[in-house]
Amino acid sequence: MRNALLLAATFLPSTLRLALWRALGFSVGRGCRVAPFSIIVADAIEIGDGAIVEPLSFVYAPLLLHLGARSRVASFVRIIGRGPARLAAQSFVGLGCLIDTTGGFHLGRRSQLGPRGVYYSHGASGLTYSQRFPERTGPLRIGDDVWVGMAAVVYPAVTIGDRAIVFAGLVVAADVAAETAIAPAANALRRFPVRMLRVGVSDELVRGKMEALLRDLAQDLGGVIEDLPGGNRRASFRGWSVLLRVERGAVVETSTDRVLWALDDDATSAHAALFLFSMLEIRGAPSAESERVAEWLCRHGVHFAAREA
């Protein structure tokens, strides 16, 4: 009966479908959106704040579908199998991916899967007498801050470590260590270290990126930019503002500054959320305004993680 209701909800607007999910006892956060014509049937559903499922995706029969806060599933994605499917906060599954959950599937925070990838957590041949193709079933785990290029194929029982990169079109049949990139070569995969974000990047370059983001934020949300002493800038909105501090050890003085953007982890504030660009980390006091800024930054490709206690 419940599966029939979930199938019937395929044609409902997002608000009505999510209301039905809540009535069925599923966990549904705020600001979620599940587009009509996406089929979603699961034994249990957990969907975090701001998560999005785009039209014409197909999720059928996992024991658990978990979508973390601000995660996004693009159109034409297929998630099949009877195991759990866990997509952590701010993760993204690209157009047309196929994910099998039989052995369990986990996609880490802020990780992204390019379009048309295949992620299978089990493999078995119908030719049971074949000794050269043994059955292989096991969890497929992709860590945090991973990028997998389009049309990649990842085998069962494979772990891809945090901050790894898999180039487009590759077949991944063995574990990939954290902070490692694999790229095609003439006869084999080349492996080399990965360093994220700031290696070889000057403060001036990062500051320029922050200033450009602040200008775009003000334009999109109807704010006004003002220049402050010391090269600092503020984007002021109705009753709140975002303060960009370019010097080290920045401190917020005014109560209207709900978000502080800073380069380093020496910045402090008693009442503002700190967006630390050197560490891609959020600290400080959350607010409706800081959540709005975080959501805007996420849509523009800058992903921050809340600091864990």
pLDDT in tens, 35-94: 999 999 999 999 999 999 999 999 987 789 999 999 999 999 999 998 999 999 999 999
If pLDDT is split at 50, 70 and 90, which confidence band does 231 have?
Answer: confident
CATH number, domain at 72? 2.160.10.10
Residue 169 lies in a domain: yes
Are 121 and 259 in a shared domain?
Answer: no
Residues of the chain with pLDDT > 70, as a percent, come to: 81
Q: Rounded CA gap, 46 and 152, in Å?
A: 27
Backbone angles phi, psi at 114, to 5 degrees: -65, 170
Tracing tokens 């402050």 back to the chain, one arrives at 228
Are 7 and 64 in a shared domain?
Answer: yes
Of 64-68, 129-133, 178-182, 256-260, which range is least confident?
129-133
Are 184 and 286 in a shared domain?
Answer: no
The pair of structure tokens assigned to 293 is 């800024």
pLDDT for res 197: 45
Q: Is 108:128 a contact under the CB 8 Å cutoff?
A: no
Q: Which residue(s) pair with 180 in the sheet?
A: 193
pLDDT for res 267: 65
What's the rounded mean pLDDT across residues 22-29?
Answer: 94
Q: Which residue(s) pair with 81 in the sheet?
A: none
Instruction: From 193, 213, 240, give the residue that closes a domain.
Output: 193
Are 186 and 208 in a shared domain?
Answer: no
DSSP class of 200: T
Counted domains in the chain: 2
Residue 145 lies in a domain: yes
Mean of pLDDT over the chain: 83
Are 188 and 224 in a shared domain?
Answer: no
Q: Is 41:58 a contact under the CB 8 Å cutoff?
A: no
CA angle centred on 17, ends 15 and 19, rounded to 5°: 70
Q: Rounded CA gap, 255 and 278, in Å?
A: 24
Residue 298 lies in a domain: yes
Q: Is 59:99 a contact under the CB 8 Å cutoff?
A: no
pLDDT for res 278: 66
pLDDT for res 239: 83
Backbone angles phi, psi at 209, to 5 degrees: -65, -40
Of 35-39, 107-111, 232-236, 260-264, which range is least confident?
260-264
The pair of structure tokens assigned to 230 is 């010391």
Instruction: From 133, 167, 193, give the residue that closes a domain.
Output: 193
Are 188 and 223 in a shared domain?
Answer: no
Backbone angles phi, psi at 19, to 5 degrees: -65, -40
Residue 198 lies in a domain: no
Tell me: the pLDDT tens digits for 107-142? 999 999 999 999 998 876 555 555 555 567 889 999
pLDDT for res 163: 92
The sheet carrying 147-148 orders its strands as 33-34, 52-53, 72-73, 92-93, 112-113, 147-148, 165-166, 180-184, 189-193
Are 139 and 265 in a shared domain?
Answer: no
Tracing tokens 């503020």 back to the chain, one arrives at 234
Q: Rounded CA gap, 173 and 65, in Å?
A: 25
Are 16 and 82 in a shared domain?
Answer: yes
Q: Which residue(s) pair with 64 in the sheet?
A: 84
The pair of structure tokens assigned to 101 is 């959950």
Based on DSSP, count helices (H) and strands (E) in the chain, helices before strands: 4, 32
Residue 34 lies in a domain: yes
Q: Rounded CA gap, 264 and 181, in Å?
A: 27
Nearest Cα to Cα of residue 94 among 160, 31, 166? 166
Nearest Cα to Cα of residue 231 among 255, 261, 253? 261
Instruction: From 148, 167, 193, give the residue that closes a domain.
Output: 193
Are 146 and 25 in a shared domain?
Answer: yes
Residue 75 lies in a domain: yes
Are 151 and 281 in a shared domain?
Answer: no
Are 139 and 30 in a shared domain?
Answer: yes
Q: How many CB atoms lie within 10 A of CB 129?
A: 5
Q: How many CB atoms lie within 10 A of CB 227?
A: 9
The residue segments making up the domain with residue 240 are 203-306
CA dihedral for 37, 38, 43, 44, sign (positive or negative): negative
pLDDT higher at 2 or 133: 2
pLDDT higher at 147 or 3: 147
Residue 58 lies in a domain: yes
Are 69 and 157 in a shared domain?
Answer: yes
Q: Rounded CA gap, 151 and 145, in Å?
A: 19
Residue type, 4: A
